[in-house]
C-alpha cells in the first residue's frame, strides 16, 4: 500500500467519522418505536441502502469534479463546511420515528442523503479520482460510525480540541482540491512552496476564524 493511498484513506475515514456521527443518531431515532426484531432489520436494511446510495453519489461527484473549475469551487465549498463544523450550534432534532419497518428504512435513507452531501463532497475531494479509496473508506468507517457513534460524540463533547483537529482535516482536504485544480496546474505544480503556503493559510484561517467566532458567541451568551 503506497503512502499517498494510505494518507488519502485515513483522510476519508476521518471525514466519514467526523461528518457521519449524526447519521447514527438518525438511525436510532428513526427505528426507536419499532419492535426489537424489526428495529435490527431497519438498522441493517436502512444503513445498507444508505451506504449504496452514498457510494453512488460519491462516485458521481468524483467524475463531476473532473469538469474544469469544479475542483476549485468544491474546495471553496469545503472550506465553508469546515468552518461551519466549528461554529454550528446544536439544533433540536426533528427526525420522527417510523411507524413501520418501511417507514423507518425510508426515513434513514432520505435523512442520510440530506445530511450526507457535505460528506460526499469531502470524500470525493480526498479520493482524487480513486474509486477504490471511496469504497474502502466507506466500508471501514461506516461500521465505526454505527457502532461507535456514542463514543465518538462523547469524546467530541469532552475534548472540543478534537473538533478543531477535524475541521483542520477538512480544511486540508479543501486546500488539496483547490491546489489540484487543473486550471491552476502551472501555478501550483511548478511552485511547491506556494502550495504549502496556500494549504497552511486555509487550515490556519479556518481554525482561527472558528475559534474567534466561538469566543465571541460564548461571550454574547
- pLDDT value of position 113: 65
Cβ-contact 46, 109 below 8 angstroms: yes
C-alpha to C-alpha distances, 217 to 89, 158, 207, 214, nearest whole angstrom: 10, 19, 15, 5
Looking at the chain, the whole-number percentage of residues with pLDDT higher than 70 is: 73
Least confident of 79-93, 152-166, 187-201: 79-93
pLDDT at 206: 92
CA distances from 152 to 71, 116, 137 (A): 30, 18, 17
Element (H, E) at 4: helix 3-31
pLDDT in tens, 11-54: 777 777 766 655 666 666 666 667 777 777 777 777 778 778 87
- Residue 213 neighbours by CB under 8 Å, 6+ apart: 86, 87
Kindly report the average pLDDT of the chain as a whole number: 76
pLDDT at 90: 47
Question: What are 135-172's pLDDT values in tens digits?
Answer: 887 777 766 666 665 566 567 667 778 778 878 888 88
Q: What pLDDT shows up at residue 100?
A: 77
CA distances for 67 relative to 12, 19, 179, angstroms: 22, 25, 15
pLDDT tens track for 45-65: 777 787 788 788 888 887 877
- Identify the band that residue 197 occupies on the pLDDT scale cut at 50, 70 and 90: very high
Put simply, whether the predicted model's pTM sits higher than 0.85 gets the answer no
Q: Tell which residue, 133, 2, 169, has the closest CA to residue 61.
A: 133
Domain ranges for the chain? 3-220
Amino acid at each position: 500500500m503506497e503512502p499517498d493511498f494510505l494518507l488519502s484513506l485515513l483522510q476519508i475515514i476521518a471525514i466519514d467519522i467526523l461528518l457521519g456521527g449524526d447519521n447514527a443518531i438518525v438511525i436510532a431515532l428513526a427505528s426507536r418505536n419499532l419492535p426489537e426484531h424489526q428495529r435490527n432489520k431497519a438498522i441493517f436494511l436502512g444503513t445498507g441502502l444508505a451506504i449504496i446510495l452514498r457510494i453512488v453519489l460519491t462516485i458521481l461527484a468524483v467524475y463531476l469534479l473532473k469538469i474544469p473549475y469544479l475542483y476549485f469551487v468544491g474546495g471553496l465549498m469545503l472550506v465553508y463546511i469546515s468552518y461551519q463544523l466549528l461554529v454550528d450550534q446544536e439544533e433540536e432534532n426533528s427526525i420522527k420515528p417510523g411507524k413501520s419497518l418501511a417507514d423507518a428504512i425510508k426515513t434513514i435513507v432520505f435523512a442520510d442523503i440530506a445530511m450526507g452531501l457535505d460528506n460526499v463532497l469531502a470524500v470525493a475531494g480526498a479520493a482524487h479520482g480513486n474509486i477504490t479509496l471511496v469504497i474502502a473508506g466507506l466500508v471501514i468507517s461506516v461500521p465505526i460510525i454505527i457502532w461507535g457513534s456514542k463514543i465518538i460524540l462523547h469524546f467530541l463533547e469532552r475534548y472540543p480540541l478534537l473538533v478543531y483537529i477535524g475541521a483542520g482535516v477538512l480544511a486540508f482536504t479543501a486546500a488539496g482540491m483547490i491546489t489540484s485544480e487543473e486550471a491552476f496546474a502551472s501555478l501550483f505544480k511548478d511552485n511547491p512552496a506556494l502550495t504549502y503556503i496556500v494549504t497552511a493559510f486555509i487550515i490556519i484561517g479556518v481554525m482561527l476564524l472558528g475559534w474567534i467566532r466561538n469566543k465571541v458567541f460564548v461571550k454574547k451568551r
